[in-house]
Structure 1
């Protein structure tokens, strides 16, 4: 029975994703459609439970009247079957209704609903552009995804369940009292007016402070996660006190919102208690007065006092539920600002799959710049053109900030161009799917980041169907087998099964680099981008891996970016970029003869030694010191 209701909703739907709308109600509906039927069923069950409780009070009033007027000898003969009916309603009917309501609420909705929201929001976040994550804390984004999904569930369930319960219960109470004595409704009407006034005053303020609190909580979480993610840097600079102060500032900002919220809570509790006391006194006074004038029976007094006591306790719960409702609405609205963003880089509506039969790459008069925080734009390329022939190996060289890594990012379409086009075998990369584009490009970056999974999962990430034999072949080619046998994680997993820690922190820089190279070797894409691929390796290992990289380059179009010029000096062509423009191009020997920027960089890296002939440069020779471009 439990499993049936638990499986009524699939919390992990597949299919095309739409960008969540930015309006509050459309945003909530976007994440609620799969559970809409269950929400309606839950509301109906809640209405039946509320009606049953009101009927129970009605029966209790009748029972008091029967007991006050009936004679003991004929009591059961006259009222026996009605008493049995009351008993069956209380013992059988009400528990069955509660069972149905609980199955719909707890098994069908409670777990599935927020998980559905997290799944859809997470899938959408994965589609966001690189610039989105460059501007956000990872911890802040994850916090928004988690708390917004939960707040959507709480908002909808409180709105449907609570409002239905209150509407049915309060209407039933008014009818019961009004049917016995219309004047008894007067205190309820006045209480309702006061109750609405309290909500009108407090709820918007609670909603406002809740939005501020949700944002402060996400900021606090983001700073804490940022500290843990960069713990090595913090310890390296031995500045934990400043880091503590950085996080404490966020915690104090969060506590400011907590204090504001709790002040409102105290005032709200006192106001509600005073209003409920007035209701109890008013109903009791009018009921006793009506009984004294023989206008109502003892049963009506019992019902009136019982309903008021119930409403008194319920009103406190209702008001806090309403306050919680608006608190969750504030959280949802805060989450909308992060989640309901359209990715800056989107596939065209009719995007096709990229095909790479040859591997020609053309940068056609590309224009691109970054937006700065002050609103200005930092121009990187303004009309740059470059053609890489099929199978050609091209090295990109330039000073720091010249645009070398940006060129690679544009080829991968992490950012969209402002003008011009990038074509692969004649296909505009803006007209193909991003997934197919990146499937055909293998890249090793300088800042190698590994997933907190096993070594095997990291290597096989670009080729999920790769065999164990193929994985080991890539491991040996990347010279990663030299440390795998000794690699053990805290859970005792060894070799390929060992987990590497967050961003690969359990491995050295050189080990991470070799795992990344093995991953690209296994992917075996027709286009290869090397952005300082061997920067974290010592000269001996670098020389050994360079041989494998040159083997990997065979038959591929290659763009290689390097600080150390000796690592790319033997490529087919070297392209020197300065201020977003190509200033020199040619082979290593040709560029030395030109005695331009490349020659100056080469002399600087070779320490000023003369007599180095171009023909003597080998890819495996010891690399000069670093420190030129990025």
Structure 2
């Protein structure tokens, strides 16, 4: 039975996630669409239960009248059928309704609904561009994905609950009391007017402060996560106290919103309890006076007082539900600002997979400025033949890494085209493009998973034998058997910590190289791929990299010119343009910028500031 109701909603639909609307109602409706049939069913059941409560209170009044007027000897003869019917419904019908209501609430909706929203938002956010993640804290984004999903569920369910209870219960109570004597409805109507005023006055203020609180909470979490993520840097610079101040600033901002919120809560709660006390006195006095005047029986007095007590309890519930509703609304509106951002880089309609048969690359008059008016890359043309090995040379900031990022389509070109084997990369799917390019960067980041998982990330079909062979070729098999983690996992099963923090820079680099060896893509990009390795390991891995380069088109970036001098062609960049190109020997023969750089190297490294300035003059 539980499994049946738990499987009514698929929390992980395979359909591609769509961009959510930026309006509150549109955003909520977008993630609620698959759940609506069950929400409507739940609302109907809630309405039935509310009607039953009102009917039961009415029956209590009738029972009091029966007991006041009936003879003890003949009570069951006269009213036994009614008593048995009500008892049967209370013992059988009511529990069944509650069971069905609970199964839909807790098994069908409660867990599946927010997970569905998380799944869709997570998949949508994963497809955001690199610039999106560079502008946000990872902890901030993840918290908004988690919080917003819960807030969507809370918003929808609270609205439905409040609407059903107010529409059914309060109206039923008015009918029940007014049916006995119309003027008894006056205290209830006046109380309702006062209650609505409280909601109108306080709830928008609670909503506004809740929005600020959600943003402050995300900021606080983002700063704490940022500190933990960069704990090595903090330790190296002995800035634990500085980080305390950085976190405390955000925490103090969050507490400021909490204090303002709690002041509103205290005022609201005090006024509500005063209003409820007035209602209790007014209704009790009115019904007693009506009974004294002979207008109503004792049953009406009992029912009216019972209804007031129920309304008092219900008013507290509705108030906090409404306050929680607007808090959830504030969280959603804050989440919309992040989650509903349009994806800067999207596949064009009917984009085809990239087919790489040779590996020819053409940068055709490309321009890119990171959104600025000028700079970085302007009017660059570069043709790379199939299987050609090209090295990019130049100081930091001249556009080498930007060129590679544009090839991977991490950013959209602002002018020109990049073509691979005759196919414009803006017209093919991003996934297929990146599957055809293997890249090893200087700043290697590993997943907080096992060594095996990190290496196998290069190929979804890789078995253990392939993983171990890639590790051997990358000279990583020497240290992997000695690895262990806090949970006792060893070797290839050991987890590497967040971003691979438990490994040394050289070990991370060798795992990254093993991953690329396993990927075996036809286009290879090396961005300071061996910079974190010592000379002995680098020499060993260089042989494997040379083997890996065979039959591939290669773009290599290195400040240590000796590591790329043997490539087919070297391209010297300055100011986003190509100023020299040719083989190592040809460039030395030209006695130009490259030749001057080669002469001025110290230990094989390019002095990216002073040497470049001298050479460029």
Q: What TM-score comes out, normalization by structure 1 length?
A: 0.96
Q: Which residue of 2 aligns with 1:512?
A: 508
Determine whether 1:470 maps to 2:466: yes
Change (3 A) 1:378 1:317: farther
In the alignment, is the contact (CA less than 8 A) between 1:47 and 1:168 conserved in 2? yes
Q: Which residue of 2 aligns with 1:249?
A: 249
Q: How does 1:229-628 map to 2 (within 5 A)?
A: 229-371=229-371, 376-377=372-373, 379-606=375-602, 623-624=604-605
Q: Aligned to 2:378, what secondary structure does the other structure show?
A: strand
CA positional deviation for 1:469: 1.9
Q: Aligned to 2:457, what secondary structure does the other structure show?
A: helix
In the alignment, is the contact (CA less than 8 A) between 2:396 and 2:608 conserved in 1? no
Distance across 2 between alignment mates of 1:606 and 1:316: 76
In the alignment, is the contact (CA less than 8 A) between 1:9 and 1:108 conserved in 2? yes
CA positional deviation for 1:595: 2.4
Alignment gaps of 5+ in structure 1: 608-622
CA positional deviation for 1:594: 2.2
CA positional deviation for 1:599: 2.1
Distance across 1 between alignment mates of 2:390 and 2:336: 44
CA positional deviation for 1:180: 0.3
In the alignment, is the contact (CA less than 8 A) between 1:474 and 1:521 conserved in 2? yes
Q: Aligned to 2:356, what secondary structure does the other structure show?
A: coil
Q: Aligned to 1:533, what secondary structure does the other structure show?
A: coil
CA positional deviation for 1:186: 0.5
Alpha-carbon displacement from aligned partner over 1:176-230 (angstroms, at most 9, x marks no partner): 0010000010111111111100000000000000000000000000000000000
In the alignment, is the contact (CA less than 8 A) between 2:21 and 2:30 conserved in 1? yes
* Count of aligned pairs: 611
Distance across 2 between alignment mates of 1:586 and 1:480: 34
Q: Aligned to 1:136, what secondary structure does the other structure show?
A: coil
Q: Aligned to 1:482, what secondary structure does the other structure show?
A: coil
In the alignment, is the contact (CA less than 8 A) between 1:56 and 1:90 conserved in 2? no
Change (3 A) 1:377 1:452: farther
Q: Which residue of 2 aligns with 1:121?
A: 121
Distance across 2 between alignment mates of 1:302 and 1:377: 78
Q: How does 1:27-42 map to 2 (within 5 A)?
A: 27-42=27-42
CA positional deviation for 1:377: 4.3
Determine whether 1:72 maps to 2:72: yes
Q: Aligned to 1:367, what secondary structure does the other structure show?
A: strand
Distance across 1 between alignment mates of 2:570 and 2:491: 39
CA positional deviation for 1:378: 5.2
Distance across 1 between alignment mates of 2:467 and 2:178: 80
CA positional deviation for 1:596: 2.3
In the alignment, is the contact (CA less than 8 A) between 2:395 and 2:608 conserved in 1? no
Q: CA RMSD in A?
A: 1.3
Q: What TM-score comes out, normalization by structure 2 length?
A: 0.98
Distance across 2 between alignment mates of 1:624 and 1:427: 37
Distance across 2 between alignment mates of 1:453 and 1:267: 50
Q: Aligned to 1:245, what secondary structure does the other structure show?
A: helix
Alpha-carbon displacement from aligned partner over 1:361-389 (angstroms, at most 9, x marks no partner): 00000010113xxxx54521111000000
Q: Aligned to 2:499, what secondary structure does the other structure show?
A: helix
Distance across 2 between alignment mates of 1:519 and 1:99: 52
CA positional deviation for 1:412: 0.2
Distance across 2 between alignment mates of 1:213 and 1:378: 39
Q: Which residue of 2 aligns with 1:220?
A: 220
Distance across 1 between alignment mates of 2:365 and 2:608: 30
Q: Aligned to 1:537, what secondary structure does the other structure show?
A: coil
